[in-house]
Amino acid sequence: MNRLKCIFLLVCGLISMSVKGQDMVILKSAYLKTNDSVLVYKPTAYESKVKYPVVYLLHGHSANHRSWSKLANLQGLADEYGFIIVCPDGLKKSWYMNSLNKDSVQYEDFMIKELMPKITSVYKADAERVFVTGASMGGFGAMYLFLNHPDVFLSAGSTSGVLNLRHSAFKKTTIANVIGPYSEENKSFDEYSPVNRLERIKDLKKTLIFDCGTEDYLYKASNQFRQKCDELKIKATYITQPGAHTGGYWSKSIKAHFSFFNELANKS
C-alpha cells in the first residue's frame, strides 16, 4: 500500500518520510555540523514484533545516500534476506573518518554515537546482528569502522575498497583534507589504513568479506589485505574476478556480501 507521510520530531531533530518499505531520514548532527540524509529500506513484511539484522551500506567518493539505490535493488535485497538496509550520506568526501581538525566533520562519531543509536531506537533493529559494507571510499569506511568498533559490528565487507590509503587516487586531495597533507612522513596514512588495523581483531574470531576486480587499480591493495588476513589467521572470504573500479562491477559484487551476511545472521 502506497503511503506518504512526513514526521518531524523536534526533540531528536529527526525528519522521516516513508514510502512503501523505504524511509528517508534527515538527521541533524552535532558531529557533522549539518544534516545527514539517510535512506532506509525495510522488508515489505516488516512488523514490530520481529527484530531485524541491519546492514549499513556506504557509498563511494563524490556519491550520496541515493547512489546505491541506483546500483542495486535494495528493496529486493531487504525482502529476500529480511534486512534493514541503511544508506547514510557520506558528504561526498568525508571518508567516514573523524577529521583531525576538530572543527571539521567528525563522521565516525556521527555513525557510532548518533546514526546507529537512532536507527536502533526508531526501527526493530537487532543490535547483535549489525553489518557494514560499501564500495571504494565506502569500502574503506566499512572496514575502518568495523576494525575500530568490532564490538558494534558482527561483520563487515568491502567491494573495491581503499584498504591502503597510500594506494588511493585521492591521497593528496580529499584524504589529505581529513588526516593531513600526504607525504611518506605522514604516518596517519599508514595508521588509518584498514590493512594496518587488522591486528585489532586477530583474536576475536571475527570473519569478513571483501572483493576487487582484477582490472581495478586497487587490486594490489586488496591482495595486500588478503595476505595480512592470512598472516593473522583472520577468517576472510576474498573474491577476485574480472572487473574495474565501476558501478557496474559493484552492482554485481555487492550481492555476495548480502548472502555472506545472511549466513552469519542466521547462525547468530
- Domains of the chain, by residue range, sit at 41-267
What are the grid coordinates assigned to 266, written together? 542466521
Query: How many H helices and E strands in the chain?
Result: 9, 10
DSSP label at residue 110: I
- The pLDDT tens digits of the residues spanning 212-262 come to 999 999 999 999 999 999 999 999 999 999 999 999 999 999 999 999 999
**Contact, 7 vs 23, CB < 8 A?**
no
- The pLDDT tens digits of the residues spanning 24-44 come to 999 999 999 999 999 999 999
Predicted local confidence at residue 21, as pLDDT? 77
Superfamily designation of domain 41-267: Alpha/Beta hydrolase fold, catalytic domain (3.40.50.1820)
Question: The pTM is what?
Answer: 0.93
DSSP label at residue 198: G
More confident residue, 115 or 13: 115
- The pLDDT tens digits of the residues spanning 136-189 come to 999 999 999 999 999 999 999 999 999 999 999 999 999 999 999 999 999 999
